[in-house]
Every structure is written in C-alpha cells, then in structure tokens.
Amino acid sequence: MKYLFLAIIILSCYGNCYAEIYYVKTNGNDTINDGKSWNAAFATLQKALQVSQYGDQIWVTQGTYKPTAYPSGITNQSSPLTDRDKAFEMVNGVKLYGGFSGDETSVMQRIADHRTILSGDIGVENNDIDNCYHVLISINDDSTTLIDGFTITQGRAKPNPPSGPNYIIIEGMPVYRTAGGAMFFRNTFAKLNNILFTGNMADIEGGGMCSYGSSPLLTNVVFSENRGGMGGGMANKSRSNPSLLNVNFSANIATPDGGGMYNEYSSPILENVLFISNSAPLGGGMKNYQSYCQLTNVVFHKNIGSFMGGGMHNAFYSAPTLKNAVFWKNSSPAGGGLADDSKSASNSINVTFAENTSRFSSVVLHGGGAVFVDDSKTKIKNSIFWGNKYLYNNTLLDNDIITRKNSEVSVSNSLLQLPNTATNYPSASFLALDSAHNIFAQNPLFVDVVNGNLRLEDCSPAVNAGDTVGVPATDLDGNIRPYPAGSTDVDMGAYENQTIAWPAHLNITEPITNGAIVKVAGEITATNQISGAIAVYQGTKSVTLLPDFSATSNTFTAVIGGCGTGISASADGASKR
C-alpha cells in the first residue's frame, strides 16, 4: 500500500512539483541567460516558450514582442513556408503572464500601465503585406493553459495572392492562413484573461480570433477594431463552445457576417458582454449559423447590419436564448435590433428593445424596427418594445416587429409599442396575442432613454407585469429578480425596479373602520366597506370598485397612477380618478 501511495504522489507531481518561472524582458539575453530570474531574463518570448513545459509559468515585461520561429510540429503545408508562418505557439499547461515592469515577485503586483504587446508586424513596419498570418496559435491545449495580460495586434490572416488552398498542418491539425489573425485555436480549452485584441485582420474567419472545435474561457477580454470575413472580432466554428465573461466587442467590421462575433455549428455561452458599434451586412453585432448561443446580461448598442440584423442575425436553424439583454439604437434594413431568418428560433426573456431602426430602400425585404422574422419561429417573453422605428421615403414610423412568410411569433407578458390591431400584429403570425397577457401602446417610462438609462420608473406599467416562470434570478444590474425576494411578480425588460414593493394585483375585501390606510398595487379591485377611516387606494394601472364597495363620511380617495410621488392617507374628500 505504501508503494501505491508513493506512486500517487509521484504522478501528482508530474508537471507541477518542479515547475519553473521563466522571465522575459526586452533587454534580456537568449544566449547567456537561463531565464530563471529577472536578472537572467530571456530577450524573447519565443525562447521562453521553447524551453517551458507543462506546469511552468512565463512572466513578460512591458514592451513589444514579435514571433521569430515557426510553430513546432509542422508536418505539411499547402505551399512553402515563409516568414509569415512564424507565430508564438502556446505550450500545453503553461501559464503566460504579461504586464510586468521587471521587479515583481508576484503576478498580483502587476499594474495595467505596463502594456505587453504581441505583434505580428515582423517585416517592414506599418506595411502589413508581410505580417504574420497568426500572432499566437493554440493546438490541443488543455484548460490549465493560460494567457493573461497582453495586447495582441497586427496579425494578418490574408495570404497574397488570396486564391487557392492556404494552410499548414500542426500536430495533425490544419491551421488556415485565412483565419484568426491574432489567435488561432484548434481543439483547445485554454483560458484567456485580460487580453486586448486590436488591429488584426483575416480574409475569411475571425479577424481577432478563430476557434475550431475549441472551448476556451475568455474573461475580461476586449475585441476592438478588428476586421474579418466572418467574425470581425471572433469566429467560432465546428462545434466550438467558448465561454465569455466580461467581454467587450467594439468597432469590429466583418464582410459579410458577424461584425463582432460569428458562430457556425457552435454554442458559445456569453455573460456580461457588450457589442458596441460593430458592423457587417448580416449581423452587425453577432451572426449565428446553425448555432445555439446562450446570452445573459448582454447589451447590443449602435451596431449596424447593412442588410439584416443590426444587433443580431440568426440563420439556418439557429436558436439562441437571450436573458436580461438590451438592444438599443441598432439599425438595419431588416431587423434593426434582431433578425430571425431561415428556420431560426430565438427566445428572448426579459429583453429591452429601444430606439432601434429599420432603414431601407427595398420594398422586398425590409422592416422590423426592433425584430424581423422570416420563415422562423420567435419567442418573446417579459420584454419591452419602445421607440423603435422604420424609415421609408424619408418618414420615420413607429414599428417594432415585422413578419414575413411562414413565420410565427409568440409574445407573452410583454409591452409592445403599437395598438393591438390586425394590421400591426396579424393573427396568422402572432399567436395568442391578447391584452390580458400583454400591454399595448403604453409608454414604459424609462428613467432616461436619451442617455440609455432603460431602467423603469416607479410608475412604469411594466413593473410587476411579467411572468416569473423561467426568468433569471438577477437582472442586468445584478439586482435580485423578482423584487422584493419571494414576490410572485416580476418586471418586464432587462432591469428589475428595486424600489417598488407593492403587488401587481390586490383584491380588497376586508372592512376598514378606523385609522389612516394606504393600499398600493398595480391593479386594485375592491368589494369592501369603509367607514370611520381615511383610506386611499392607489392603483398604478387601475382601481376597480365593484357594486359591493361602499365608503362613508367622504374619506375615500382612489388614485390611478401617481406612483412616483407617494399619496398620503390624510387626504379628505371622496374622489375617484
């Protein structure tokens, strides 16, 4: 038994008990230094990667570092290798940290001012025709592999000439020269923390990053000003299932699909993610193709889809689920906020669509200031539509949802911005749409829509008007939902009002014979008797006094609305409004 125990200890130490920290700084030396202290640091990241093994760490000071060697394990290529095939190749199980000044003794001592840049600009500076196809490559790396604290830039996955097959084979895996300008993943589960992808390009997929069959974890990552064919910022292909937490996609451009992110046969999970000012013909913020994304606490703002889906475009059996999402001021000819196309089926729960715009010149494929549905089935629950428009013949008209052929839209417990008419919401497309479960043409009373504060005022008709089944436990701010805890009523939209503690419905039957009483609810129904008391019934939506109700001595007041200012029970004089 003691030998078995010893064997277990030896195996558990493999790659960990003798782990090294290798140090890299721009004025180091690869020839005479061993890289095992700041004083004996290597000069290049390439050297540190070559000597590191599973369990090691690499610490890199501020400065710019460029690939100087080919990835190991290349067995074949579609055309002869050139300097452009040089790249940093991650080592399985190695943790790579940037952002040091050169005297730290702990990773926690790093500060943000020390930028460590990995650049693909290996040839003539500022002439990208000779830049690396990929700055960083990760093949067959497990979840202990980490890159933390780097800016990755100037990758150019753009062969010249662009035609014909372009790939290399590494560890038996094809790596495409047209994908993943900053970073290319294949069969990888690595972690990325505190990374900025900026100024990268790809001809086909993932200007910033491209994943094939990979499930990396990205935390505190920014994709900014990258360009790609499919996925200006990030592309996920072939059953890639990355997880993104606190990630920002801004000002990325794609032609034709997914300005911020493109997903194909993949199921990414996104939480606390922003898509701001990205653009593409299809899916300015995100494009899904036969993909099943899960998005929680996600904001799409000022994204542009020049053909379809300003914020998001879903195509060919895609079925994303969105919870606590905001689509604000996105635009596209078809679906300013979101477009479901070709048998897709998005599911929106507690989503706010505000001030999105459909701008178009074609009368064939257009409309849907907020949502456009074509040959698809869309579900919407606990959501708010307000201020969405479509522009036609230089005229802005109110418009939230447009459907085309073979489409079904299921809307429940939501606020729609137009009156419930057959013209606005034809029954053939809008299933079971009725005023008992939805609110029509009522201002949701956002706190400050002009400046993007889409939280609800206390008087909002959307407060306590949702359905609690299947809702997220918190709202976009991270506040408890429903509020207060244990309530059976939940708000519509991405934000849960945190000041309203009254119920959505109140049926008052008990007599009130003394004291000063205020009863507040969304809807109040009364059949009781009031005598010898002062009472105020304040219904934010309605107060219904049934025939059995009575009040004497002129001491009853019924108030409709008015929830933003409180009502005192000292009021005198019977009145109903």
Per-residue pLDDT at 10 exceeds 90:
no
Segment among 31-45, 98-112, 258-272, 385-399 with least mean pLDDT: 385-399
% pLDDT > 70, the chain: 92
Dist. CA 99–CA 475, nearest whole Å: 34
CB 185 within 8 A of CB 159: no
Cα(240)–Cα(235) distance, integer angstroms = 9
What is the C-alpha to C-alpha distance for residues 163 and 204, in angstroms, rounded to an integer?
Answer: 12
Strand partners, 148: 97, 193
Task: Out of 196, 224, 252, pick the residue that ends a domain.
Answer: 224
Q: What is the mean pLDDT of residues 439-447?
A: 93
- The verdict on residue 455 lying in a domain is no
Statement: residue 62 has pLDDT above 70: yes
Is 370 a residue whose pLDDT tops 50?
A: yes
The span from the CA of 269 to the CA of 383, in Å, is 21
Q: Which residues are registered as beta bridge partners of 77? A: 168
How far apart are the C-alpha atoms of 556 and 182, rounded to whole Å? 70
Region of residue 177 (phi > 0: left; psi between -120 and 50: alpha; otherwise: beta): alpha
Stretch 442-462: mean pLDDT:
92
Question: In terms of residues, how long is the chain?
Answer: 577
Q: What is the pLDDT of residue 478?
A: 96
Which of 260, 263, 215 is closest to 237 using CA atoms? Answer: 263
**Is the CB of residue 58 less than 8 Å from the CB of residue 95?**
yes
**pLDDT reported for residue 577:** 32
Quick check: is 49 in a domain? yes
Residue 568, pLDDT score: 53
Q: Tell the residue number behind the tokens 């980490």, with chain if given.
A: 146
| Segments forming the whole domain that contains residue 535 | 505-544
Higher pLDDT, 537 or 305: 305
Within-domain flag for 495: no
**Residue 80 included in any domain:** yes
Peptide bond into 320 cis (omega under 30): no
Element (H, E) at 8: helix 2-13
What pLDDT digit, counting tens, does each position of 337-364 carry?
999 999 999 999 999 999 999 976 554 4
Residue 39's Cα: distance from chain center in Å?
43
**Strands annotated E in 206-278:** 209-212, 217-224, 227-230, 234-237, 243-250, 253-257, 261-264, 269-276
Residue 157 lies in a domain: yes
pLDDT at position 395: 83
142-172 confidence digits (pLDDT tens): 999 999 999 999 999 999 876 667 999 998 8
Considering the domain boundaries, does residue 38 fall inside one?
A: yes
530 close to 554: Cβ distance less than 8 angstroms: no
Judging by beta carbons within 10 Å of its beta carbon (0-12, 13-18, 19+), is residue 492 exposed, middle or buried?
A: buried
Confirm whether 199 is domain-assigned: yes
Per-residue pLDDT at 254 exceeds 70: yes
- 431 is written with which tokens? 């299933």
Q: What is the pLDDT of residue 365?
A: 54
The two beta strands, 227-230 and 201-205, are: parallel
Per-residue HEC secondary structure of 152-216 comes to EECCEECCCCCCCCCEEEECCEEEECCECCCEEEECCCCEEEEEEEECCEEEEECCCEEEECCCC
Residue 11 confidence (pLDDT): 44
How far lies 165's CA from each of 77, 130, 172, 175, in Å?
9, 19, 17, 11
The first and second tokens of residue 152, run together, are 């990755």
pLDDT-derived band at 484 (thresholds 50, 70, 90) equals confident
| Residue range 550-575: mean pLDDT, rounded | 62
The Cα–Cα gap between 553 and 384 comes to: 43
Record the tokens describing residue 270, joined without a space.
Answer: 């996104």
Count of the separate structural domains present in the chain: 2
Residue 50 lies in a domain: yes
pLDDT at 24: 98
Name the pLDDT band for 15 (thresholds 50, 70, 90). Answer: very low
- pLDDT band of residue 563 (cuts 50, 70, 90) is low
